[in-house]
């Protein structure tokens, strides 16, 4: 799991996969295989995709069966995905508003920060106080 979350040493390119060292392949008993952490790309996907991969890992490990824990995991993951879809829709709607509108800028910033679809590099837009 560490390879998915950190980019490693300071001389590495940001986002470079540490499991395959940027090659996209790892050795296995059956020969070379696509790296499971980066999907064979050699670099880590966006934080948004990492959250979805982690949710799938949790769902696979704990969401199967008919136990109370499995039902709770499925419920929480469905809520997570529903909330993320709603934030994506809010972001899309805010894109339709005029760029000079400070509320639209704040909506886009807040939703993008929560979803982590994009790396936020600018300061938070000023509010209308």
Cβ 18 vs Cβ 3: under 8 Å: yes
Annotated domain spans of the chain: 2-34, 47-115
Is 120's pLDDT higher than 80? no
Please write the tens of the pLDDT for every residue from 84-117: 999 999 988 888 988 888 888 888 888 888 888 7
At 26, which helix (H) or strand (E)? Answer: strand 25-28
The mean pLDDT of the chain is 83
| Residue 36: closest CA among 62, 61, 77, 1 | 1
Global confidence as pTM: 0.68
Is 125's pLDDT higher than 70? no
| Residue 25: closest CA among 13, 15, 39, 46 | 39
């Amino acid at each position: 799991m560490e390879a998915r979350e950190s980019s490693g040493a300071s001389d590495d390119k940001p986002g470079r996969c540490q499991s395959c060292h940027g090659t996209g392949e790892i050795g296995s008993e059956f020969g070379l295989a696509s790296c499971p952490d980066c999907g064979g790309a050699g670099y880590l996907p966006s934080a948004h995709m990492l959250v979805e991969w982690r949710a799938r890992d949790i769902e696979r490990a704990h969401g199967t069966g008919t136990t109370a824990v499995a039902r709770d995991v499925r419920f929480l993951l469905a809520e997570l995905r529903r909330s993320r879809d709603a934030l994506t829709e809010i972001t899309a709607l805010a894109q339709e508003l005029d760029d000079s509108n400070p509320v639209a800028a704040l909506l886009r910033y807040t939703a993008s920060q929560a979803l982590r679809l994009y790396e936020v590099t600018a300061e938070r837009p000023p509010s209308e106080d």
